[in-house]
Each structure stands twice: as structure tokens, then as C-alpha cells.
Structure 1
Amino acid sequence: MSSNLRINRICEQCGKEFEARKTTSKTCSNDCAKKAYKARKRAAKIEVSNEQVNRIKAKPLEDLRAQEYLTVDETARLVRISRRTLYRMNERGELVFMKLSRRTVIRRSDIDRLFDQAKPAGAPEPVIISLSECYTMKEIIQKYGISDKALYELIRRNDIPKQYSGIYAYVPKIRIDELLTSAASQS
């Protein structure tokens, strides 16, 4: 059945203007119709794929918390740290991995134990020593004839506490004398 209608339309595939004979025509030719069909199918597949990805991402953490054994990826997602950090924890002996066939799993109780451990008390309170019992950095450099870099490295390596008064840093005379006189006697 042919129609006497002549409607100006724009092709949804190529964007060219064409004269349609039906009110339902959306493309200018059979080739454009085939391309539009393929584009719709491709978009539908992408939508399904995106939906699957979103479902996996939105997988509730409660499911992970209920499982007795977790994979490395699941543990990383649960604890919100990287896989490499988990492997470093395993190397240090903080977290035990078990190998089951080709899968590496971690016991849920081992993960919980990490968080149940007592927190360290923190750094001890620094003892305040009177400034008359301390050297300035300049005094140490002049007295022992060492370089700035060597002095700061010595203080850092031996955890010598520093006190500040204004722009000057002070360190205990006793600790510096012990370190530098013992180093001089060993030379």
C-alpha cells in the first residue's frame, strides 16, 4: 500500500534531510536503517554491561562481612586498602594468607584480629631539660668539628630529643658527649 504523503524528515543515523512516505520513517535508506538498528543493539548491550558492573560495585559489604573466608580482592574492598598493602602485611606476618588450590584466601577472624589489637600508647612525653644542660647546633659543630649534615643525621639516627627556644634548637649535652666521645675513641 503506497502513500501519497511526502514529509520532510532528518535521518536519525546520518543526519541528512530526506522525504519520508510514512509517518513512522526515521531513516533515509535501508543502509541507515541497518546502521541505526546495530547502534541500538550496541547501546542495549552496553547498558546491560554497565548494569552488571554497577551491581557488582554495589554488592553490599554485609555479604563480605558474613563470609568466613575472603579473597584478597574482597578483603581489600572490605578494609578499603590496596591489594599490595595486604601482600605487604602478609610478608611482615601481620596477616596470614592461605592458599586453596589456585585461590588465596584470608580468614575473616584474622582480619578482625587486626582491629582488635591494642593500640600503641604513643610516643612518651618528652622530658624537658634545662637549656643550661643543652648544646645548640652551632656549639656542637664548633666543639667537635663535624658538619651540619653529619650532626643532623646523628641526631636523627639516635633519636636524640630536640628542644626549641626561639629560633635555636637545643640537644642534651650528655647524649651528644656520649656519642661523639665514643666515636672519637673508636677512630
Structure 2
Amino acid sequence: MKITRARALVAVSAAALMGLAACNNAEPAAEAPAAEEAAADAAATPAGDVVAVASGNADFSTLVTAVQAAGLVETLQGTGPFTVFAPTNAAFAKIPAADLQALLQPGQRSALTGVLTYHVVPGSVSAATLAGQITAGGGQATLTTVEGGTLTARANADGSITLTDEKGGSATVVQADVAASNGVIHAIDTVVMPN
């Protein structure tokens, strides 16, 4: 069979058109995963440091006020990383109002700093990492806080994690793994207290 130059040109042109059509059909499919990946990356990117993330959540407004009163904003905006067991507003509401107001006064800055830094552990400890530490510790993990005291973490039957402070009080993690650029926040339902 003899192929003429015209037939070859038609065949090559047809193949090229088919290739272009295939590329045009593939472009939207290729763009969709890229767009989905970009959206996932944006969602995974923390909104700021631990102070910015807490400030952006109305449920941490009392904590943010306390951090400001203690002069810890700049420290918690540092490179870290930090793990913050952050008491919610409901947690602070368990403290008698007069006691909380007294603690927020300038003369109590040292005591307030001690309480707040007792809620911070050096490093970025995710809930999964903490659960692994509890398992490795035979049912509990001892966490040394920035304040210098310890918290004891235990897993509950429902999968939640409870922290026991040095005075025997306990708090439950009610929301885990709130990401920040310099660490992670775990919301707790009670203010824990150092010795």
C-alpha cells in the first residue's frame, strides 16, 4: 500500500488533533486535584502562633486576658514549639469570680504566671503522641510543664484524655490538636493548679 504525502499529512494532523483534544479533556481533571491539594494545604496551615489561634477563638477569651495580664504574650509567640493545655471560658468559670479577678491583678502577676505556665509543656505533643506516651507508660504519662511541675495524663475508656494536677484536681481534654505555627493547643474543661 502506497502512502502519499497528503495521506501522511492528514494522518499526522488527525493524530495531533486527537492528542490536543485529549490534553484539553485532561486539563480540568489535572486542575481539580491541584485545587483540592491547595485547599487542603490552606486548611492544614495553622492560622498563627498559639496566642493568635487562642485569640481567634471566643472560647479562649478568658485565657487570652490572663496571658496578657501575666505578660506572657511575647513568650508564647516565640518559636516554641509549645503544647498548651488551654482552659476554656467554662473552665475558668469554675473558679470563684472573686478569686479569678484577684489572680488577674498586677500584684498577682507571679502567681498568675505560675498557673499559666503550668498549662504549657515544651515541644509539640499531639493527642496521638500523648496517647502513645500513656500506653508506653503503662496507662499514664508524666508531663513536665514549663512552670517546672508535672501533670499526669491518663486515657479514659471513651478515648478522651484526663490530666491530673499536683493537687489532685483533674481536667479532661475536650478538643485536641488545634494547630498553631509554634505548637499545638488542647482545650481542657478545668484549670489545673500547680503545688
Instruction: Provide TM-score, normalisation by structure 2.
Output: 0.27
Between Structure 1 and Structure 2, which shows a larger proportion of strand residues? Answer: 2
Instruction: Provide TM-score, normalisation by structure 1.
Output: 0.28
* Bigger Cα Rg: 1
Could you say which structure has the greater relative contact order, defined with CA pairs below 8 angstroms and 6 or more residues apart? 2
